[in-house]
Amino acid sequence: MLTLTSTFLKILALLHVAQVVNADPTHVGPRSSVNGRWGLVQEGTSGVSAMQLAVVTDTKAIVFDKVEHNPLTVDGHPAWAAEIDLPSRTVRPLNPISNTFCATGSFLSNGTMVHTAGNPFFEVDIGVTDGISGTQSVRLFTPCDDASCDLIEDPNVRRLTSRRWYTTSARLEDGSVFIYGGSTANGFITNATINNPTYEFFPPKNINGYNGVQIPSQFLLDTLIANQFPNVLVLPDGNLFIAANQQAMIFNWKTNTETRLPNIPNGVRISYPFSAGLTMLPLTPENNFTPEILTCGGADLDDSLATGAYSSQSPTSNQCARLVLTRQGIAAGWKVEHMPQNRTMVELILLPDGRVLMVNGMSTGVGGYGTGVFDMINESNADHPVFTPLIYDPNAAPGRRFTVAPISSKIPRMYHSTATLIPDGSILLAGSNPNSDVIFNVTYPTEYRMEFLSPPYMFRPRPTFTGLPATLDYGATATVNVNLPRGTRSVTAVLMDLGFATHGVHMDQRLVHLRSTLSRDGKTLRITGPANPRIYSPGPGFLFIVTKDGVPSEGKRFLIGTGAQPPVDQGAIENLLRATENLNSVAPLKH
């Protein structure tokens, strides 16, 4: 009987696998990844220090800085935001009116970026007298290719319901943006007084008993002290994965229900100022779109010490931990591995071939600057920059997943540095400024130089494609014309959200394999949109066509869904404006 039952279960398991395969007979993910020569070039400058970075079109990225004496000017004063033209490596200044220091960004379903929160005041006098506080700011940016777009900001029309600094955002399945946590005032680290243990939406919603205004979150109380820039990811069942400090949970935003997950192992803290990198691994038909989280780095320091008890030489962690978000995976718990380097503020960047690139950051110290930690390096709270990229292959056997790239930068990418995959397939490394203003005669100066890192696939013959439609709806098909390297018999259609990077957190970063069928003559590829908006929220994405050997085409931007705006609840907007004080009054120049 026992044998019979187990045989029966085995047959069931086989049937299950067979079903998954049958559901998508044409899908074959990249089987290997390209090794060999890497490239790293330093080209162009970002004009402002790149604290926040996001790709906005096939050829443009935007960067945000804090208000400081940047060389790029706009409207007769130093700029603190800019648009990078990626092919020419040149910049155009942008002109927000509030201080974007420690803000966040996500795109709506219609492709407009919502850039929220920021600094309450202008810490540095750059001659702007009509700037406003950034903590309640909602700035809209609709990307353009003709240099006509800028940030739109009017606190009388749209604003956050409360003050936020070091907050996080994520695009939801209805195309709106979820805004989570942060602090109401500045400090090296948050505390119970300045913690903002609430969440809200843009556009605002009437939900969970709150009409447009912020909703309390117990998790943000339980994760004190070090819980700024929490990690928030949309899961394929519509719930959110949220992690901050040493804790993690599944959050149902529709019912306001928190379900706790096992803590990050070995007491490692993963949010600012002990920042780790964190990403969801690729969602593919092979893994049945099962979400799995990877977090690397951080520190296991006590988060309740006096500022002077931290040091630029404090140890950071070399731990990576993975958790599969299924019932069995959660029961099995986090699986621990170790990087060949200790790191904080490491950026985990998904590559089109499904691997994870790790760049930037430091191997000792903590986030922030000028806060009086012991042994500051000039104003830097950290030391020992990590110059060498690491590659992590999630599908390799344990013990064989890390490769140290055979190339190193010479530019320290410390606090307030960023990095992102860009559409041509290379990785832009930018920023670094652990200083209160622009300064060059220090060990870790204000950094404007941009670097472009090329993985080995950049030097191989690459697929190209044309004819991508502007939008691709769920389950709908589109056919693109492809030109594949000789001998290519199968490819994978890879949909990526390149995200919005700041402080080592990559908001909305995501990689999803689409179902696709290559024509017999290898000249056209029919792709099918994601099954539903929980797999990939409606909004911008980049399509990469990747050969079985792991060589990607350049990425092209399109909108998943219909390109319609998210739900707009006029009653919730009016209630928000009525119920919350407009704190975005003209900002004092100093504290």
Ligand X SMILES: *[C@@H]1O[C@H](CO)[C@@H](O)[C@H](O)[C@H]1NC(C)=O
193 binds ligand X (CB under 6 A): yes
Residues numbered 111 to 150 that lie near ligand X (CB under 6 A) are: 112, 140, 142
110 binds ligand X (CB under 6 A): yes
Cis peptide upstream of residue 273 (ω within 30 degrees of 0): yes
Helix/strand/coil (H/E/C) assignment for every residue in 136-203: CEEEEECCCCCCCCCCEECCCCCECCCCCECCEEEECCCCCEEEECCECCCCCCCCCCCECCEEEEEC
Pick the closest to residue 276 from 225, 339, 191 (CA basis). Answer: 339
522 binds ligand X (CB under 6 A): no
479 binds ligand X (CB under 6 A): no
Binding residue for ligand X, selected from 34, 108, 235, 349, defined by CB under 6 A:
108
| Residue 356 beta carbon to ligand X: minimum distance, rounded to whole angstroms | 18
Choose the binding region for ligand X from 255-263, 316-324, 390-398, 464-472 (rule: CB under 6 A).
316-324
Q: For ligand X, give the closer residue by CB, 172 or 480.
A: 172
- Judged by phi (left if over 0) then psi (alpha if -120 to 50, else beta), residue 580 lies in beta
341 binds ligand X (CB under 6 A): no
| Residue 229 beta carbon to ligand X: minimum distance, rounded to whole angstroms | 16
| Residue 7 beta carbon to ligand X: minimum distance, rounded to whole angstroms | 44
In angstroms, the CA 120 to CA 165 distance is: 8
Give every CB contact of residue 439 below 8 A, 6+ residues apart in sequence: 378, 445, 446
| Residue 159 beta carbon to ligand X: minimum distance, rounded to whole angstroms | 13
Q: Are 112 and 140 in contact (CB under 8 A)?
A: yes
Choose the binding region for ligand X from 205-213, 315-323, 498-506, 576-584 (rule: CB under 6 A).
315-323
Q: For ligand X, give the closer residue by CB, 264 or 496.
A: 264
420 binds ligand X (CB under 6 A): no
| Residue 311 beta carbon to ligand X: minimum distance, rounded to whole angstroms | 12
Pick the closest to residue 357 from 334, 315, 386 (CA basis). Answer: 386
Number of neighbouring beta carbons within 10 Å of residue 571:
11
Q: What single-letter amino acid sits at 332? A: A
In angstroms, the CA 33 to CA 35 distance is: 6
Binding residue for ligand X, selected from 47, 203, 282, 552, defined by CB under 6 A:
203
- Judged by phi (left if over 0) then psi (alpha if -120 to 50, else beta), residue 372 lies in left
| Residue closest to ligand X when measured from CB atoms | 187
CA torsion angle 571 573 578 581 (round to 10):
160
336 binds ligand X (CB under 6 A): no
**Per-residue binding letters, 436-465, with ligand X (x by CB under 6 A):** ---x-xxx----------------------
Tokens of 117: 């929160």
DSSP SS3 for 544: strand
Binding residue for ligand X, selected from 38, 92, 187, 238, defined by CB under 6 A:
187
Q: Where in 196-282 does DSSP place strands (E)?
A: 198-202, 206-207, 210-211, 215-216, 231-234, 240-244, 247-252, 257-261, 276-280
Beta strand pairing call for 231-234 and 500-502: unpaired
Q: For ligand X, give the closer residue by CB, 45 or 426.
A: 45
Q: For ligand X, give the closer residue by CB, 147 or 568.
A: 568
Q: For ligand X, give the closer residue by CB, 244 or 514.
A: 244
Q: Are 525 and 479 in contact (CB under 8 A)?
A: yes
Q: For ligand X, give the closer residue by CB, 342 or 409.
A: 342
In angstroms, the CA 26 to CA 547 distance is: 14
342 binds ligand X (CB under 6 A): yes
How many residues make contact with ligand X (CB under 6 A)?
A: 24
**Per-residue binding letters, 558-587, with ligand X (x by CB under 6 A):** -------x--x-------------------
316 binds ligand X (CB under 6 A): yes
315 binds ligand X (CB under 6 A): yes
Choose the binding region for ligand X from 91-99, 241-249, 393-401, 434-442 (rule: CB under 6 A).
434-442
| Residue 363 beta carbon to ligand X: minimum distance, rounded to whole angstroms | 6
**Per-residue binding letters, 369-388, with ligand X (x by CB under 6 A):** ---------x----------
Q: Where on the chain is the footprint of ligand X (CB under 6 A)?
A: 108, 110, 112, 140, 142, 185, 187, 191, 193-194, 203, 315-319, 342, 378, 439, 441-443, 565, 568
